[in-house]
């Protein structure tokens, strides 16, 4: 009987704590209200980001004024902890695009809970891209690392995959640019989760390309140029030489999903 009393008391304390955390979550993230348990996880994550990574968040005036979808969060990629730091510091929920070969099976519950959209680095990546477009058409928010891999050495930008411009162009989504720096430089990338750092996340005002009369290539180039200006970093080498097969976009249409092969660089290089 005493053991049952202890168990029920512990559950009661957990429920009360979850409700309090959910209320706190609702005050800090009014644009994305979630339930108590999600609030508990969020506040634990905030404590983790502050204590382990000393996270500093800077929000440019107007950056968080309107986070309604469709919206694409575009970030440079410095470490495996990047999506966590952005998700913790944004007042709206982001569904991240992630390479399928980075999936850790025992974390499937977490991927499902967080709504990760997995992208295969081959022709099957079209399915993930279609899921991303579907979420955007439903006024959702997705997150992308268009460099396609983690920056090495640190403070070096990598060329953006052309698919990010295609996704922006075809969905009409606004872009919320995010600059990340100061995260742990670890191998493998997941070691950054438990390596202390002094990380910072800088949110720039959203960009609406809908009225700029730019094609997909120009949008990608414009984003890349903006990140280079904001960071002042040098550009690193591309992932794939231009003379290597599949490096250049092709114009063949995929009748099953209305996607063209110029979206596939995003699927091949997504991190």
Tell me the per-residue pLDDT of 47-62, one tens digit each, with 9 for 90 and over.
Answer: 889 999 999 999 999 9
Mean pLDDT of 170-176: 96
Q: For residue 119, what are the β-bridge partners?
A: 99
For 256, the 3-state DSSP assignment is coil
Question: Which pLDDT tens digit goes with each residue over 18-34?
Answer: 554 444 445 455 555 55
Percent of the chain whose pLDDT exceeds 70:
71
* Residue 207 confidence (pLDDT): 97
Give the predicted TM-score (pTM) of the model.
Answer: 0.79
Helix (H) or strand (E) holding 202: strand 200-203
Exposure of 4 in the CB half-sphere (CA atoms within 13 A): 1
Task: Please give the residue that has the higher pLDDT: either 10 or 45.
Answer: 45
Per-residue model confidence as pLDDT tens digits over 74-100: 999 999 899 989 988 988 889 999 887
Q: Please provide the average confidence, as pLDDT, over all residues in the chain.
A: 78
Tell me how far apart the alpha carbons of residues 256 and 170 are, in angstroms, rounded to a whole number: 16
Higher per-residue pLDDT: 190 or 62: 62
Answer for the pair 186, 151: CB distance below 8 angstroms, yes or no.
no
């Amino acid at each position: 009987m005493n053991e049952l009393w202890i168990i029920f008391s512990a559950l009661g304390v957990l429920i009360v704590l979850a409700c309090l955390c959910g209320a706190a979550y609702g005050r800090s993230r009014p644009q994305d209200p979630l339930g108590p348990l999600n609030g508990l996880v969020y506040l634990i994550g905030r404590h983790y980001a502050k204590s382990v990574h000393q996270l500093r968040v800077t929000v440019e005036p107007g950056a968080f004024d309107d986070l309604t979808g469709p919206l694409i969060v575009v970030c440079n990629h410095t470490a495996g902890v990047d999506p966590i730091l952005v998700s913790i510091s944004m007042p709206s929920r982001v569904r991240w695009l992630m390479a399928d070969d980075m999936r850790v099976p025992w974390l499937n519950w977490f991927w499902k809970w967080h709504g990760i959209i997995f992208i295969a680095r081959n022709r099957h990546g079209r399915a993930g891209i279609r899921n991303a477009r579907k979420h955007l058409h439903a006024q959702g928010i997705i997150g992308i690392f268009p460099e396609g891999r983690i920056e090495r050495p640190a403070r070096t930008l990598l060329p953006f995959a052309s698919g990010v411009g295609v996704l922006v162009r075809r969905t009409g989504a606004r872009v919320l640019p995010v600059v990340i720096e100061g995260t742990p430089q670890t191998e493998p990338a997941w070691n950054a989760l438990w390596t202390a750092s002094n990380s910072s996340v800088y949110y720039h005002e959203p960009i609406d390309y809908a009225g700029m009369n730019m094609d997909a290539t120009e949008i990608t180039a414009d984003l890349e140029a903006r990140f280079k200006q904001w960071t002042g970093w040098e550009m690193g080498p591309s992932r794939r030489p231009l003379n290597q097969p599949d490096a250049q976009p092709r114009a063949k249409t995929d009748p099953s999903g209305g996607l063209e092969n110029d979206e596939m660089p995003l699927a091949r290089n997504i991190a």
